[in-house]
Amino acid sequence: MNGLETLPAWAAVIVICLLVLGGAIVLIGALGLMRLPTFYQRIHGPAITVTLGAGAILIASMVYFTAAQSRLVVHELLITLFIMMTAPVVSMLIMRVAVYRDLRGRKGGFAGEGDVYRQPTTAQDRPDTK
Amino acid sequence: MLLPFPYLSTALLLCWLLLNQSLEPAQILLGMLLAVAIPLLTRSLLPLPRARVRRPWLLLRLLAVSMVEIVRSCLSVSRIILFRRSRGIHSQFIRVPLDLRDPYGLALLSCLINCTPGTVWVEILPGTHDLALHIFDLQDEQWWIDTIKSQYERPLIEIFEG
């Protein structure tokens, strides 16, 4: 990539810090996806990836290209916008599918009489030992 | 009103200019054309009448507050994933009674809650106005209910219903 040598030091420091932060957050999110035991906990892992992880990397990209090309490069904001609009909807849909399948199906119909759902204790969803 | 959808048109024009990365008059003209045409063409897809935002500044403040909250929750969820034993994580569904009725307000509330790591909106329980919410690590149910009602719901009621 051209412009790497001419990148000013202050920009390089910001970009490096943001990339390390973003990379670490994405890694932690993936780790959570891997080691959390139940589905309802695993759904929270990717949430940090799409918010702070993607956010830090996108800001790093904006700072890098703005400093390297000496003009304002902010079209990454569009990526942020679309992630912010789609990720919540997707996680809500996945959650609802799981709830409908797991909890309602198992009890033979949820009447909506006012119980918050109970935590699933099915065998395949809970590893007994590590 | 000059434009049928002023907010949507402005957002579309900004999107177009960002996408093309230019402020040339030709691009602005084309963007304005699209910004007027797209809302008119897709009007029949809108299931509800247009949202009325009463206090835009409050909306911006709410978004800023939620941004801070997202970063804080990110860090606490990361800490839990890294350092807590899986058995010690107390994940649970809770129930939050809502006073907000406006569909646009509810949509925004669900997006904000789902964007915040550690909480996932499940649904409004059928036949009630109660929200089922899944919390990654539940310590104090009342604290969550109070936080959501005071930090998110009250501003949204003022913005969309006030």
The string of pLDDT tens digits covering residues A62-116 is: 999 888 888 888 888 899 889 988 999 999 999 888 888 876 665 544 433 335 6
Does residue B117 contact residue A47 with C-beta atoms inside 8 Å? Answer: yes
Look up the pTM and report it: 0.81
One-letter amino acid identity for A10?
A: W
Q: Is residue A123 part of a domain?
A: no
Q: Is residue A41 part of a domain?
A: yes
- Is the pLDDT assigned to residue B50 strictly greater than 80? no
- Domain boundaries of chain B, sorted by first residue: 6-45, 56-160
For position A21, what pLDDT does the model report?
A: 94
Domain containing A45 equals 9-105
Q: Is residue A31 part of a domain?
A: yes
Q: In chain A, which residues have their Cβ closer than 8 Å to the Cβ of B21?
A: 73, 75
Q: Per-residue pLDDT tens for A47-56?
A: 889 889 999 9
Across the interface, do B114 and A35 touch by the CB < 8 Å criterion? no
Q: What is the largest CA-CA distance in chain B?
A: 60
Q: Is residue A122 part of a domain?
A: no
Residue of A nearest to B131 (CA): A116
Give ipTM to 2 decimals: 0.81
Sign, CA dihedral A99-A103-A106-A108, equals: negative
Residue B93 touches chain A, beta carbons under 8 Å: yes
Q: Is residue A120 part of a domain?
A: no
- Is the pLDDT assigned to residue A122 strictly greater than 80? no
What is the number of structural domains in chain A? 1
Mutate to test the interface with B, among A116, A118, A121, A129 (most CBs of B within 10 A): A116
Helix (H) or strand (E) holding B95: strand B92-97
Candidate from A32, A37, A116 with C-beta closest to B94: A116
Average pLDDT for residues B65-76, to the nearest whole number?
92
Residue A83 touches chain B, beta carbons under 8 Å: no
